[in-house]
Structure 1
Amino acid sequence: MAGYLDRLTAGLPTAWAGFLLDWDRSLRAGNYPETTRYNYLLAASQLAHYLGEDPDEIDAGDAALDPTEVARAHVESFQAWMVKTRSASTALNKHKALQQFFRWLRDDEEEIARSPMDRVKQPRTAKKLVPVLPEQDTARILGVCKGKSFAQLRDEAIIRLYYNTGARLSEVGNLTLDDIDMATDSVRYHGKGGKDRRVRFGPRTGRALSRYLRARAKHKGAALQELWLAERGVRGLAPNGIKLMLKRRGRAAGVADVHAHRWRHTFAHEWKRAGGDSGDLMLLLGWASDDMPRHYGASAAAERARETHLRMGIGENV
């Protein structure tokens, strides 16, 4: 993702490009993660490009040249276009990012008196249950990692960490050697907003990590601080590389749509299904909002309801 600023500001009018550069500097000063900064600036860049193409739905006017001229109607037109060409959930993500951008223009830069987002409604999105990964599917994925090659040992350790701890893609992907403590069987995750947390892992995950670390010590990149190394060369394996690896292992195992977030949902699902405390789940998964356990635990609640329905046998006694 390095060099994203050049890509996002390419072809933009001077005022738009200048404000995005300044906003990125402000976000970096606030210690926002690179992924968050990229997604925020991407939304603003897309709005600028949309207005610059003079959409039929609305007269862009000076807003195409300067973000301080953007009005509510411009944002609503862009949002409707996003719903039409992408999806409601994508439009919602852009809405939230633009709220941050125009709040920064208003409060920090004092370039506008009122945010054009103030009366723009969020796009309504359908509530969907994210499918969990059944245990047998994870077993099949781990099965294609079985072996003694460097990539097999590494990939099994990565997958077991996701399954065993419910961590985010970036949290596992950005681990360093110092974050793993084999003496206490624990891992230190660097979560959103600069919040660190330490999570214990089980014996099978510990065994997989130990085997990988022994292989890693013989790798030509052993001196690097990144925990995960690319199979070839002297470089780390970035989160995006892990994302591609998971899809590749999923295809080899015959399991569709494999990504790290499904194990995060699975972790929350199994935790809630077993009657685990929501507060403890928030601590383990690094959540700050009470809404998250409800959202991630929705599939477990639905499954408990189905099990109760079958047990009660309503309508089966006549």
Structure 2
Amino acid sequence: MATLTSTAAEHFGQEIGSFRRYLRAENKSDNTTRIYTDAAERFANWLASESDDDVVEWGQVRRKHIQEWIIYLGEQGKADGYRNNWFRSIQQFWRWWAEEFEEPNPIAGLKPPHVPENLGALLKDCEGKCFIQRRDKAILYVFMDSGIRRGELVALRVEDLDLDQRETGSSGRGDGCGPSRSAGRAPAS
């Protein structure tokens, strides 16, 4: 978890604290709250120390700053998937911020960094007829086709699966009833 530098805390800390309270009030999991606020703290630290512009409040952030941060992460050797995760996490902060302060959302319309699919070898390892191979292939397809979260997948029960409709209904989000998601190719596995 990132710790705000003194400069970042002075300029950006109050809003990050408000964002954390918002996430808790929305009953987001501790892990989700940690990830989203960590992204905001990392971005604030970058703004305070690495940005070429003198940004001292959230309202001064523009699309270019978010793009420059994502580029910076790549220049630091961070993988596409890593940068994609941070983009999606900071996106949640900006959605909240724009609504909370009735300001334009600087991340609106930006796309996350592309993550090329490199699943061929993994799927190839799952080819076969034994139970473990078929199970692992089904798990991968559920992840790929539904966008289900890890915790939701772990919480799935047999009765949550609708093989005819190729959907999963998960109870893993903490509120007892997750969304129905397309399981796509998984039932065929």
In 2, are the aligned partners of 1:24 and 1:41 still within 8 Å (CA)?
yes
Q: Superposed, which structure 2 residues align to 1:1-318 within 5 Å? A: 7-11=2-6, 12-55=8-51, 59-62=52-55, 65-84=56-75, 85-110=77-102, 113-129=103-119, 131=122, 134=126, 170=151, 189=155, 199-200=157-158, 276-279=163-166, 281-283=167-169, 288=179, 290=181, 293-294=183-184, 297=185
Q: TM-score normalised to the size of structure 1?
A: 0.43
Cα-Cα RMSD: 3.8
Runs of 4+ in 1 over 4 A off after TM superposition: 132-139, 166-173, 284-287
| Paired positions, count | 165
1:18 to 1:124, Cα distance in 2 relative to 1, 3 A: same
Q: TM-score normalised to the size of structure 2?
A: 0.67
> What amino acid maps onto 2:89 in structure 1?
A
In 2, are the aligned partners of 1:52 and 1:60 still within 8 Å (CA)?
no
Structure 1 counterpart SS, 2:183: helix
Q: Could you list the runs of 5+ residues in structure 2 that have no partner in the other structure? A: 134-138, 173-177
CA distance in 2, matches of 1:98, 1:121: 12
In 2, are the aligned partners of 1:75 and 1:120 still within 8 Å (CA)?
no
1:289 to 1:81, Cα distance in 2 relative to 1, 3 A: farther
Q: Could you list the runs of 5+ residues in structure 1 that have no partner in the other structure? A: 140-161, 174-188, 190-196, 202-270, 305-318
CA distance in 2, matches of 1:278, 1:82: 41
Deviation at 1:23, TM superposition (A): 0.4
In 1, are the aligned partners of 2:46 and 2:69 still within 8 Å (CA)?
yes
CA distance in 2, matches of 1:123, 1:105: 22
1:104 to 1:172, Cα distance in 2 relative to 1, 3 A: closer
Q: Percent identity?
A: 20
Give the greater-gyration-radius structure (CA).
Answer: 1
